[in-house]
Structure 1
Amino acid sequence: MRKGVTEDKGVLADILDKAEVVWLALVDDEGPHCVPVNFAVEGDTLFVHSGKRGRKAACLDSGAPLAFSAAVDMELKTSEDNACELGYRFRSVMGRGVPRRLTGDEKMRALDLITLKYAGRAMPYNEKVLAITGAYAIDMHSATARIKE
């Protein structure tokens, strides 16, 4: 495995817990596209939400494999003398998975996990918005963390 890359579940969990967004790499008939999403993670599953209509929802509903990434602790490395020394220190996660739409109690649990991550507490939902919101579980089939120092 490449230097600075690990599959250690503890490292993966720490990075995902601290990440503010996950970028989903999706593909449809129009081609590839990448979208940032709010998310929560539990074990080997990412949870995301989306409107029930639109390109992102159609890709997620298709059940087609996707890729995801997140990065934390971004710090610019500078140099006065050599462009090759410019870059970033960071910790990141990259992985692949397959999405599935959630309903009923599973949907509510996913939304609660996402709310807890960002608000730090449970909150009520607007029923009209809930009706047009989809929630998805992305079962991570593989994931690696990279630490660049």
Structure 2
Amino acid sequence: MPKVWIDDESIIRDFLQKQAVGVLGLAGNGVPYCIPVNFVYHADLNRIYLHSSNTGQKMEVIAENPDVTFLVYEVEKLVTADQPCNFAMRYLSVVVRGQARVLEDPNKKAEVLTMLARKYSNKPGALPTVTPLQADAVAVIEISIDQIHCKRNVDP
């Protein structure tokens, strides 16, 4: 089960831009908390953005401790064998460590929400932009990336 560390920024960027779901890892009161989220990756700014309700556990934990981990992965295939201990999973994963903050600027929130909507829409060009007034209804979280690691488990 050889693992290959990938440092090619174009592979990491393309992978993050095409994936639909990431797992946000937080820790509040010494208790880990992980939740799947939709996200958009802005490579030029080295940021990940996600949206959230304005209240709830995620928002409380970020206010207490902005240190986050963000995981995105894709299972490529399961390798079976005659012996259970020889099974293996082929995958690509990206793990980000960074700082989360809640955006306050309604114009920036609207810009990010428009990017999110267009990422997930089957008709991105047909969608109107989100207005700052609409953006006030939700929270937008920005993760500034401190570290990023990409790994692939490949066939020998």
Indicate whether the TM-score tops 0.5: yes
What is the distance in 2 between the residues matched to 1:125 and 1:110? 9
In structure 1, runs of 5+ residues without a counterpart are none
1:133 aligns with 2:142: no
Give the letter aligned to residue 84 of structure 2: A
Residue 64 of structure 1 aligns with which residue? 66
What is the distance in 2 between the residues matched to 1:3 and 1:124? 42
Give the letter aligned to residue 138 of structure 1: I
What is the distance in 1 between the residues matched to 2:50 and 2:87? 34
Residue 117 of structure 1 aligns with which residue? 119
What is the distance in 1 between the residues matched to 2:26 and 2:16? 19
Q: CA deviation at 1:88?
A: 1.1
> Do the aligned residues in 1 keep the contact of 2:113 with 2:135 (CA within 8 Å)?
no
1:24 aligns with 2:29: no
What is the distance in 1 between the residues matched to 2:116 and 2:62? 17
What is the distance in 1 between the residues matched to 2:115 and 2:32? 28
Cα distance change on mapping 1:24 and 1:114 into 2, 3 Å: same
Relative to the length of structure 2, the TM-score reads 0.83
In structure 2, runs of 5+ residues without a counterpart are none
Q: CA deviation at 1:118?
A: 0.6
What is the distance in 1 between the residues matched to 2:33 and 2:65? 16
Aligned 1:1-149 pairs, distance under 5 A? 3-29=3-29, 31-43=31-43, 44-62=46-64, 64-79=66-81, 81-102=82-103, 103-120=105-122, 121=124, 122-123=127-128, 130-149=135-154
Q: CA deviation at 1:147?
A: 1.0
Give the letter aligned to residue 119 of structure 2: K
Q: CA deviation at 1:6?
A: 2.2
Q: CA deviation at 1:128?
A: 8.5
Aligned-residue CA RMSD in angstroms?
2.3
